[in-house]
Amino acid sequence: MQRTRDPLVQLVRGGVDLIELGQPFFTGMPCSPNHPGFRMTLARRHGDMVRPDGGSAANEIIVTGGHVGTHIDALSHVSHDGLLHGGVDAMAAQRGGAFTAHGAEHLPGFLRRGLLLDIARLRDTDTLPGGYEVTVDDLARAAQQAGVEPEAGDVVLIRTGWARLFDTPTAYSGGQSGVPGVGVEAARWLAGRGIAATGADTTAYERIAPGAGHSVLPVHRVLLVESGIYILEHLNLEALAAQELFEFAFMLAPLRIVGGTGSPVRPLAAVTR
């Protein structure tokens, strides 16, 4: 009996290109001041131990926070007035050193429609200025410019151009200049469309006002706590923007870190050849 082939398998067999949407992980890379940084070093080097047949192996030790480099926030990451998404008591859920609700092991894998809303392109610049607030009007016009419309279940990625500064940690972190990002009303606009996740090419997704640091993050409250929408940070959307790929298949598989608040990730855009 001949089996009916899944159309998705047929599509993949026809040839698919994968585009990196994340940053590489390396010691000294930019990191939010709220989180421990990424460190990697070789724990064993070739020649430290040689097998009788002449073989040798090297390995490394990695120390990192869960919100360092390209990563996704679990719903346990932010609370408001003591409550996580769905009214879960945050203090009770975190007893024992790991979350018993909304932990990173519950983060979903993603194979969804992805959309690029290129706000830097909309504003005719390579990089938005520090502290720029992405508004509802920006999102709506960028969607119209791209010929797309955010819908339920989509993953919406916001380009500010800030990834161009990733190799300059001081500039990337914003400092006194602030960092561009989505404002509260724009976040509510996205949430109102029922999207599954959203991300940006900055350290905190949302706007950081000049000189404000990362002390108040109201957009995280709107998305994670109020809406149950996952947040991706430290993306690199330059390749998508250069190819003007505004609609694509978005792929992501978080690590299942039991009781964690986030996970390092390697997001990919898949497009047919």
Distance CA(23)–CA(29), nearest Å, equals 9
Strand 155-159 versus strand 59-63 pairing type:
unpaired
> Are the C-beta atoms of residues 92 and 125 closer than 8 Å to each other?
no
User: What single-letter DSSP state applies at residue 99?
Assistant: -
Q: What is the predicted pLDDT for the residue at 197?
A: 98
CA-CA distance, 67 to 192, in Å (whole number)? 26
Helices (H), the chain: 7-13, 90-93, 119-122, 136-146, 169-173, 184-191, 218-220, 238-242
Per-residue model confidence (pLDDT) at position 273: 83
pTM to 2 decimals? 0.94
The pLDDT value recorded for residue 84 is 98
- What is the DSSP-derived secondary structure letter of residue 40? E
pLDDT attached to residue 9: 87
Domains, the chain, ordered by start: 7-272 (3.50.30.50)
Residues whose CB is less than 8 angstroms from the CB of residue 45 and which lie 6 or more positions away in sequence, other chains included:
58
Residue 84 to residue 78: CA distance in whole angstroms: 7
pLDDT recorded at residue 10:
84
Which segments in the chain show pLDDT lower than 50?
none
In angstroms, the CA 228 to CA 107 distance is: 11
CA-based radius of gyration for the chain: 20
How far apart, in whole angstroms, are the C-alpha atoms of residue 105 and residue 225? 18
CA dihedral 121, 192, 81, 210 (to 10 degrees): 20
With H, G, I as helix, E, B as strand and everything else as coil, classify residue 3.
coil
pLDDT of residue 213: 65
Whether 271 contacts 11, CB under 8 Å: no
**Beta carbons within 8 Å of 197's beta carbon, 6+ residues apart:** 72, 110, 112, 155, 156, 229, 230, 231, 232
